């Protein structure tokens, strides 16, 4: 371990196999490497090959460690991330991930990093790191409010699937000592169970998360005190160990060439400033057929021009389809793009006046760092918690959904978009988004968070 604040660290990073996790881990890796620290980024070959290129000045400091995922009978060929398979096969990816114990152990023993920064899924990594004399931090790509709502490690490790236990998720938890509108709805809890419940062959997500927090030396959170001070302070009480914000990790302009960008820019250039709605739901969230139909009809009803990124996974068991004739009717007014796009470049364009998103952290941060107002349509539990917090703080507006079954109408989509994008009544959301630029987009604030995180990691043994 470093003896003083000037010594450089060797930090290993081991994210979960989802691009909503891989990309924030890589972003943090680049920020730490920019301060001169050595990073070993561990993942599978196909995922590493799909990551953005490292800036040349950092290539000598970031080393990618490729380890092969074990083959499983129920895991599709070449499926190495959640984007490669349908939701109902997600548990097999976790089982395969658990099969990485031995190669990760071999790496730790051989490389002897000062720290290994872990994600929620590798619940077995804490004891392994300790056995080899390596410190471990759990890095949450979710904000403190999501963690605080779920409770202490002990609570998480003993959550059961019975209805009485699940009812607790619908209320403000007893361990939250301050007033808050952060909550889950019944349909979000149902989806949480569908995606994360335990089975004879798989450990539940909440147990993995709780065990990681319980066995780590410190918790690092994608957040800052200016964004959610109460929730960060609550985590320190719940976890009884250091909780260190890593900053909100705002996106940075990437000048790397995108073959599709000139055509997209040409379309955006044709529209007046602030008139276009950008719609995207991340790489992991896939609306079902009902949701896709309501969304499309709502966009049509709104009358607004739109740019919709709708990635259809070939691995999905059932691919949802747009209403018949929708794309023909919207020709000229809207774009439906079914491939990866340079999101930050698009959202940065002056013609984009607002975002319709799922409340994922990366899209939320990108929108607010650029001063673009947000309309939220959360699907799963972490998105629901983040959305309710943003609504509580008047940072965004949420499309109304039925709490029990998650249903919503085209009219609710159209009305929400019109309110936030056009209406005088929604001016507060447009003004609040501009105000938030100083918090979400300030590179100096982010730099300070990384400096404080690195100081903590360097001096942990003396604190």
pLDDT in tens, 71-97: 999 899 899 999 898 877 888 999 999
pLDDT of residue 313 exceeding 80: no
Rounded average pLDDT over 317-346: 88
Q: What phi and psi values does residue 161 have, to the nearest 5 degrees? A: -90, 10
Beta strand pairing status for 397-398 and 352-357? unpaired
The residue ranges of DSSP E strands in 180-256, in sequence order, are 218-221, 243-245
Residue 106 to residue 122: CA distance in whole angstroms? 15
Task: Kindly tell me if the per-residue pLDDT of 5 is higher than 50.
Answer: no
Task: Give me the mean pLDDT over the 129-147 stretch.
Answer: 97
Q: Is a pLDDT exceeding 50 seen at residue 3?
A: no
Q: Which residues in 40-63 are b (16+ Cβ under 10 Å) and which e?
A: bbbbbebbbeeeeebeeeeeebbe
pTM exceeds 0.75: yes
Q: Which residue is listed with tokens 């890589």?
A: 26
Specify the pLDDT at position 314.
43
Q: What is the crossing angle of helices 186-196 and 381-392, to 10°?
A: 150
Among 164-168, 190-194, 226-230, 442-446, name the one with the lowest average pLDDT: 164-168
Confidence of residue 191 (pLDDT cuts 50, 70, 90): confident
Which region among 194-203, 217-226, 233-242, 373-382 has the lowest average model confidence (pLDDT)? 194-203
pLDDT of residue 311: 78
Least confident of 11-15, 155-159, 167-171, 398-402: 167-171
The larger pLDDT score, comparing residue 416 to residue 316, is at 416
Weakest-pLDDT range from 13-22, 200-209, 301-310, 415-424: 200-209
Query: What's the average model confidence in pLDDT over 252-256?
Result: 68
Q: Tell me phi and psi for residue 316, to 5 degrees.
A: -65, 140
Of the candidates 437, 294, 288, the residue with the CA atom closest to the CA atom of residue 367:
437
Domain residue limits, the chain: 10-161+197-250+442-462, 261-440
Q: 397-398 and 374-376 as β-strands: parallel, antiparallel, unpaired?
A: parallel
Q: Label residue 287 by pLDDT band (50, 70, 90).
A: confident
261-440: CATH architecture:
3-Layer(aba) Sandwich (3.40)
Q: Residue 208: is its pLDDT beyond 80?
A: yes
Strand-pair partners of 354: 277
Contacts of 85 (CB under 8 A, 6+ apart): 75, 76, 79, 92, 93, 315
**Number of residues written out for the chain:** 463
- Residue 380 has a pLDDT of 81
Token readout for 335 is 């774009």
Lowest mean pLDDT among 135-144, 318-327, 373-382: 318-327
Domain 261-440 in the same topology as domain 10-161+197-250+442-462: yes
What is the mean predicted confidence (pLDDT) over 377-388? 90
Residue range 367-380: mean pLDDT, rounded: 95
- Using CA atoms, how far apart are residues 388 and 429, in angstroms rounded to an integer? 15
Domain formed by 10-161+197-250+442-462, architecture: 3-Layer(aba) Sandwich (3.40)
Q: How far apart are CA 367 and CA 360, in angstroms?
A: 11
The confidence score (pLDDT) of residue 381 equals 77
Asked whether the predicted pLDDT for residue 399 surpasses 80, the reply is yes
Residue 257: per-residue pLDDT? 57
pLDDT score for 195: 61
Bridge partners (DSSP) listed for residue 447: none
d(CA 38, CA 8): 7
Per-residue pLDDT, averaged over 319-339, amounts to 91
Does 160 score more than 60 pLDDT?
no
Q: What is the mean pLDDT of the chain?
A: 91
Portion of the chain with pLDDT greater than 70, in percent: 92
């Amino acid at each position: 371990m470093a003896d003083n604040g000037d010594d450089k660290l060797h930090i290993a990073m081991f994210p979960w196999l989802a691009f909503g996790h891989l990309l924030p881990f890589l972003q943090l890796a680049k920020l730490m490497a920019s301060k001169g620290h050595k990073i070993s980024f561990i993942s599978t070959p196909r995922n590493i090959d799909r990551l953005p290129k490292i800036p040349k000045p950092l290539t000598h400091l970031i080393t990618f460690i490729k380890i092969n995922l074990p083959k499983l009978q129920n895991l599709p060929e070449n499926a190495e991330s959640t984007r490669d398979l349908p939701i109902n096969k997600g548990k097999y990816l976790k089982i395969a991930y658990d099969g990485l114990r031995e190669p990760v152990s071999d790496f730790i023993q051989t490389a002897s990093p000062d720290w290994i920064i872990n994600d929620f899924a590798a619940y077995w990594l804490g004891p392994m790191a300790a056995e080899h004399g390596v410190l471990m931090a759990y890095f949450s790509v979710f904000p403190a409010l999501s963690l605080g709502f779920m409770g202490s490690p002990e609570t998480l490790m003993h959550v059961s699937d019975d209805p009485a236990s699940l009812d607790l998720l619908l209320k403000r938890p007893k361990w939250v000592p301050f007033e808050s509108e952060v909550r889950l709805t019944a349909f979000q809890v149902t989806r949480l169970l569908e995606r994360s419940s335990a089975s004879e062959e798989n450990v539940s997500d909440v147990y993995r998360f709780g065990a990681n927090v319980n066995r780590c030396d410190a918790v690092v959170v994608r957040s800052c005190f200016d964004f959610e001070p109460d929730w960060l302070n609550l985590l320190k009480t719940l976890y009884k160990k250091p909780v260190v914000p890593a900053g909100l990790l705002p996106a940075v302009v990437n000048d790397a060439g995108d073959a599709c960008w000139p055509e997209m820019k040409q379309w955006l250039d044709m529209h007046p400033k602030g008139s276009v709605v950008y719609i995207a739901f991340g790489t992991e969230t896939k609306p079902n057929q009902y949701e896709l139909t309501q969304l499309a009809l709502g966009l049509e009803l709104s009358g607004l021009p739109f740019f919709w990124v709708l990635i259809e996974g070939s691995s999905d068991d059932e691919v949802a389809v747009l209403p018949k004739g929708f794309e023909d009717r919207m020709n000229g007014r809207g774009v439906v793009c079914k491939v990866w796009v340079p999101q930050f470049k698009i959202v940065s364009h002056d013609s984009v006046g607002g975002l319709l998103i799922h409340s994922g952290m990366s899209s939320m941060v990108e929108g607010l760092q650029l001063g673009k107002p947000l309309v939220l349509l959360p699907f799963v539990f972490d998105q629901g918690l983040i959305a309710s917090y943003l609504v509580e703080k008047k940072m965004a507006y949420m499309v109304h959904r039925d709490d029990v079954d998650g249903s919503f109408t085209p009219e609710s989509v159209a009305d929400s978009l019109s309110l936030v994008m056009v209406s005088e009544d929604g001016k507060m959301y447009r003004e609040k988004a501009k105000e938030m630029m100083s918090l979400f987009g300030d590179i100096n604030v982010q730099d300070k968070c990384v400096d404080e995180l690195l100081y903590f990691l360097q001096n942990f043994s003396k604190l």
